[in-house]
Amino acid sequence: MSVVEGAVFAGYQIERRLGAGGMGTVFLVQHPRLPRKDALKVLAEIHAEDPEFRARFLREAEIAARLQHPNLVAVRDRGEQDGRLWIAMQYVDGVDVAQLIKTNALPIERAVRIFVEAARGLDEIHQAGLLHRDVKPANILVAQQPDGSDRVLVTDFGIARAADDSTTLASGGTTATLAYAPPEQISGDPMDHRGDVYALGCTLYHMLTGSVPYPRDSPGAVMYAHLNEPPPRPSLENSSVPTAFDAVIAKAMAKQPDGRFSSCGAFAAAARAALDGGALTGSGPDAARTKRRDRLLAAGLLVVVVVASAISTVLWIGGDPPASTSPPSTTAGPPDVNTAEWGAYAYIAQAFPELLPPSPLATGYKDVGGCIPLDEQGRTASFDVPAAVGELFCIGDGDPARTMAVTCNANRSPIFPDRFFARVEGDERWVRSSGTGHVNWGSDIEIDGKIRGQLDVYFDDPSRNFCTVQVHGTGSGTELHDRWWPDAPL
């Protein structure tokens, strides 16, 4: 039967068309029995000819209907009429993000707020054993709440599928919008929830810059870029975007799933860290540390970014601030360290060639990567500008290290052991074939009641005693000591 305005379909009175895409058409409808408007998605007729698709769609819609989350559009019913599959969803009287960014990028803080809420909804989908497979701005809805704030909901579960099913849903090709499709979806390889992380990375890039990640003249060129070209840097497209976002986007859009964030929530935490770190100001390491801690405690985000500021105060314990601002020579060092990409911070990478990645956007020990330099106030710095105190802040995989910072005095004055956590759990000398030093670990309990572990490593040998390594995790300091420390290539 024809589905047009004014008709009755599956008991719903069709009022008007809200939108259409390759998978079907969405209508605003009147519920047959309740005084309520719903959004009714009627799938394209081509899918009615595929019995496997029909069975999967009905099964997954039933699973999606059980999900109750403030950042997910509620799925209320599903069925089939006259060979046409349909799904009834909560109607959201608002706009989608694609409309918001049609002409310009969003303000950075609003973009991150919307992104964080969408990430929470996607994690809920993944925890239910589903994949979205078409994450893009058009599938993130924004409605204004009475207080003027944004209410954010992820929509379009019509192509969600079981996480252990690696087949392609749409016959003849991928179902995702090509501008946001992960490489494995384009190539037809098995896909898990990290494919949605990639697409969310493309979406955040678009929100920050007003442009899709790979604007090309043909679908083939877009596919090639997703498969082969490095992730774009949002700070180059939009100068108001802090450069810290470059590393975050690069990790989210890694070509291989293993190089990406382990969840959308981990991605969101890193984005918030990039936003807060890039915006901070202050004078002196103590002031910066206090400011950052206060701001992030209020937001419940200390786990990701406290390492970037707390470590800077360690550097001044030994006496007066270093007089020289010139880093050691970067002409020598392990051949796998890309000194050109590390720039003025190459001497740090050369001191820890197995711990740190060979280049800022590669991965090192336990997949740590996305490294950026920070100044003494915890703000993003330039790889090209030398500093008296060089700090490389890197993102871990959360298993168990969430972040890692390696900080070195450029004039090679030693850094002495200290502690920057509330609860001390351990403190010991270490001896390895590579040298000796000191390690201590402990935890902070934050306002959300969660334990944030920390582990600090110091060195005796003059070749590295001007550096310290600090690691933060989602569990206790003891967990970092037991799981991260034993095999750490130090």
Q: Is 384 labeled as catalytic in the residue annotation?
A: no
Please give the C-alpha separations between residue 34 and each of 29, 37, 231, 338, in angstroms, as whole numbers: 11, 9, 48, 64
Of 38, 96, 123, 134, catalytic: 134
DSSP, collapsed to helix, strand or coil, labels residue 220 as helix
User: Are 223 and 178 within 8 A, CB to CB?
Assistant: yes
CA 112 to chain centre: 11
Give, for 199, the enclosing helix (H) or strand (E): helix 193-209
- The residues with which 432 forms a beta bridge, in sequence order, are 435
Query: What span, in angstroms and rounded, lies between the C-alpha atoms of 12 and 33?
Result: 9
At 344, the amino acid letter reads A
Whether 400 and 475 have beta carbons less than 8 Å apart is answered as yes
CA neighbor of 371 nearest in space, from 229, 239, 251:
251
Hey, what are 8's tokens?
């009755």
User: In this structure, what DSSP letter does residue 94 have?
Assistant: S
- CA–CA separation, 400 and 479 (whole Å): 7
Per the CB < 8 A criterion, the answer to whether 22 and 72 are in contact is: no
Inter-helix orientation angle 193-209/244-252, to 10°: 150
> How far is residue 258 CA from its own chain's centroid?
13
- For 80-93, b/e burial (b = at least 16 CB within 10 A) is eeeebbbbbbbbbe
Contact 396, 270 (CB under 8 A): no
Catalytic residue ranges: 134
